[in-house]
Chains A and B, each alone.
Chain A
Amino acid sequence: MTTAESAGTQESTVDTLVSIQDLKVHFPIKRGVVLDRTVGYVYAVDGVTLEVKRGETYGLVGESGCGKTTLGRGLLRLVEPTSGHAWFEDVDLATLKGERLRKMRRRMQMVFQDPLSSLDPRQSVESILVEGMRAHDLDKSKESTRRRLLELLDAVGLPSTSLRKYPHEFSGGQRQRIGIARALTVEPDLIVADEPVSALDVSVQAQVINLLEDLQNEFGLTYLVIAHDLAVVRHISDRVGVMYLGGLVEEATSDALYAEPLHPYTRALLSAVPVPDPEVEDARERILLAGDLPSPANPPTGCRFHTRCPWKQEELCDTDRPELREFRPGHRVACHYAEDILAGRIQPHEVRAELVEEHGISPDMPLVGPASVTEVLE
């Protein structure tokens, strides 16, 4: 997929569709039945700033628990952001309410990971597709609606006989096509696709990826694709943001990110992806990260990656959280030592795996952050 703009002209002329500013989504951890004390927070998304330009595909990658899904849902207001802004053109979605929010939702749709659980098993495909149109008054006449539905089915590659069928009569790939068609019924500008292909078999996955690309060209859609599979994200995205523990650690065009990853986490991630080529696999040097992702309820101080980082330094890393800064035009990175690592002045060292508590929070743990949810929401 190509953006209309070439890399060189990324000035203010470029049309920004979505602009997320310092978005935070914190989930309270509750204890107790009667008193319902809040004993801490899961810092699912903790200050993310990014922009999605009109017509491009922005890929968001990261491992499970890094907050990529929550960011997508927070943007669409499917979960309430704790603080921050999410601008859609010139409307701040984070403060929108009621009818205005509902109207805005026509312009931003979501495609979910599991097509079976996101489609109502008791609704026929026709009814699933018409529902959204009806909600947004696009269902003008029987004749035009029918024409529109057939057009859409054709666009996503399903036979016109599908309308009377139910979700269970389709295969996984076909169900995902229905999910995509449903998102398209209301003529959205933005589609947030949360792991659109990860539940599918490889051969079917390629069909859906190609379909998403074709639809983008046909309808001029903007995509925010959330996925854990780096190869898929690189394939379909124009720009990629890498998330780690609630924050963006690197952002670049997908070519630049692959050619020259700057953040140690991105490097490790790229080196860990298996490539279906024995020669490449044999020759590759892997950066094996020690241990697991720390708990987002108790994120490490300073740079959140410092507990696993092979390039960790004595200073700054464990005390100051690095800002996502512009390393070169269009390439942002959140690492204190990006220059030194790139130049090879810092060499990686062995990291011992530290204990990671899966259920990180215990009642006797000292609390950080605000004492109640209401305080945060003010």
Chain B
Amino acid sequence: MALLEVRDLSVVFQRKGEKPFTAVDGVSFDVDPGQTVGLVGESGCGKSVTSLAIMGLLPRRGNRVGGTATFEGTNLLSLSDNQMRERRGRDLGMVFQDPLSSLNPVISIGLQVTEVLQRHRGMKGDAAKRKAAELLDKVGIPDPTRRLSEYPHQLSGGMRQRALIAIALACAPRLLIADEPTTALDVTIQAQILSLLKELVTDTGTALVMITHDLGVVAGLCDEVNVLYGGKIVERAERHALFNHARHPYTHGLLGSIPRLDAPKGEKLVPIKGSVSDNIPWDNGCAFAPRCPNAIDDCRQTMPVLETDGPGQLRCHNPVELADAVREGAR
């Protein structure tokens, strides 16, 4: 059995006087111990909401969460707030995009790290402090004992993100969810953080769910990649398969849109036409159909389902032909 099994997860935002909005629509995926799973998509595709729903961090009011997220046999979505609080920080860790707004600005870094240790491990005083310093050292913060007494504003962006990772890892969680952990950082710092995450996953066997919009980050880190569009998974594949022959026109389009550092110069980018606002509701067909170069009549009439496609899965009526996909991918 997988460590985390998400089945048919859906999140509907309901606001008074407004039409309900389905942000996540029947998302299912598995995460095995030691595995890195990527959730990729552009803004508004539901990748962050998925992670918040699994962690039970969505406010109860105004949201309807459906489906199950089974972590070691327990459905996380059915737990009470108190039970969930016990889990978070101990079994489940989370790293957010913006470290400055996720850290408490008026509490020292040391206290924020030891808090987790005290709460979940019952460590006290000096022992907790020593452990905290050890954790900061492990994530590559120089002079950790001094840093313990400092406040978030005294650290640089990269250091803050490291501190946040240290907090998430304090109790050696079996699952770590990282939501765009490097998006706010510069490339050289991003490279440091990514190599740190990679190292931690290999060393501790922690499973990692990586949420990002950057296909480059995914290519170097994830074992399996789920591509989301309009709240649904449209393609799932092992990373080599995904990058070498993307089958869904959306994935294909994304790969064509990114300027590559190693591509021959002078090549024109092939953007996806239109924007997310052109989407049609999934009930009437494929949400991506209005932007899709491969769209056929079927796409505007019946909703495609996620079907097995070779080693991966695909939700498309008229996917990119394998021969074309390979040629494009190998350019």
Interface of A toward B, CB cutoff 8 Å? 2, 63-64, 171-174, 201-207, 209-210, 213, 228, 230-232, 234-236, 254-255, 258, 268-282, 284, 286, 288-289, 291-293, 352-359
Which B residues between 130 and 160 are near A, CB-CB below 8 angstroms? 140, 142-143, 153-159
Q: For A231, list chain B residues within 8 Å (CB).
A: 258-261
Interface of B toward A, CB cutoff 8 Å? 42-43, 140, 142-143, 153-159, 186-192, 194-195, 213-220, 239-240, 243-244, 253-263, 265-266, 268-273, 275-277
Q: For A209, list chain B residues within 8 Å (CB).
A: 259, 269
Nearest neighbor of B158 in chain A, beta-carbon distance: A292
Q: For B143, list chain A residues within 8 Å (CB).
A: 355
A46–chain B nearest beta-carbon distance, Å: 19
Choice from A207, A234, A278 contacting B265 with Cβ under 8 Å: A234
- Pick the most buried of A209, A230, A278, A354: most chain B CB atoms within 10 A of its CB: A278
Q: For A352, list chain B residues within 8 Å (CB).
A: 142
Nearest neighbor of B190 in chain A, beta-carbon distance: A272
Q: For A279, list chain B residues within 8 Å (CB).
A: 240
Contact between A275 and B260, CB atoms less than 8 A apart = yes
- A228–B37 Cα distance when bound, in Å, is 27
Contact between A202 and B265, CB atoms less than 8 A apart = no
Tell me whether chain B's interface is mostly helix, strand or loop, or mixed.
helix
Decide yes or no: A288 and B154 within 8 Å by CB, A273-B216, A280-B262, A355-B142 being known contacts: no
Nearest neighbor of B159 in chain A, beta-carbon distance: A292
Contact between B188 and A277, CB atoms less than 8 A apart = no
Nearest neighbor of B272 in chain A, beta-carbon distance: A203
Q: For B272, list chain A residues within 8 Å (CB).
A: 203, 206
B98–chain A nearest beta-carbon distance, Å: 14
Choice from B156, B157, B195, B271 contacting A203 with Cβ under 8 Å: B271
- A357–B151 Cα distance when bound, in Å, is 12
B147–chain A nearest beta-carbon distance, Å: 9
Contact between B191 and A205, CB atoms less than 8 A apart = no
Contact between B156 and A206, CB atoms less than 8 A apart = no
Contact between A278 and B220, CB atoms less than 8 A apart = yes
A372–chain B nearest beta-carbon distance, Å: 28
Choice from A171, A236, A258, A271 contacting B277 with Cβ under 8 Å: A171
Contact between A274 and B219, CB atoms less than 8 A apart = yes
A29–chain B nearest beta-carbon distance, Å: 16
- A210–B256 Cα distance when bound, in Å, is 12
Nearest neighbor of B273 in chain A, beta-carbon distance: A207
Q: List 6 A-B contacts (CB under 8 A).
A: A203-B275, A205-B271, A206-B269, A235-B269, A286-B191, A358-B155
Choice from B43, B192, B260, B268 contacting A210 with Cβ under 8 Å: B268
Nearest neighbor of A232 in chain B, beta-carbon distance: B259
Q: For A353, list chain B residues within 8 Å (CB).
A: 140, 142
Q: For A271, list chain B residues within 8 Å (CB).
A: 191
Nearest neighbor of B143 in chain A, beta-carbon distance: A355
Having A173-B275, A201-B275, A293-B156, one finds 17 other A-B pairs with CB under 8 Å, namely A202-B215, A203-B253, A206-B256, A206-B272, A234-B259, A273-B261, A274-B214, A275-B216, A275-B219, A276-B218, A276-B255, A277-B260, A278-B219, A282-B220, A289-B188, A358-B154, A358-B155
Q: For B273, list chain A residues within 8 Å (CB).
A: 207
Q: For A282, list chain B residues within 8 Å (CB).
A: 220
Contact between B220 and A281, CB atoms less than 8 A apart = yes
Contact between B265 and A255, CB atoms less than 8 A apart = yes
B82–chain A nearest beta-carbon distance, Å: 37
Nearest neighbor of A64 in chain B, beta-carbon distance: B186
Q: Which 8 A-B pairs have the closest CB atoms?
A: A274-B216, A206-B271, A235-B259, A281-B220, A206-B257, A272-B191, A63-B186, A203-B272
Choice from A201, A230, A232, A269 contacting B213 with Cβ under 8 Å: A201
Q: For B188, list chain A residues within 8 Å (CB).
A: 63, 268-269, 272, 288-289
Nearest neighbor of B216 in chain A, beta-carbon distance: A274
Q: For A174, list chain B residues within 8 Å (CB).
A: 275
Q: For B192, list chain A residues within 8 Å (CB).
A: 288-289
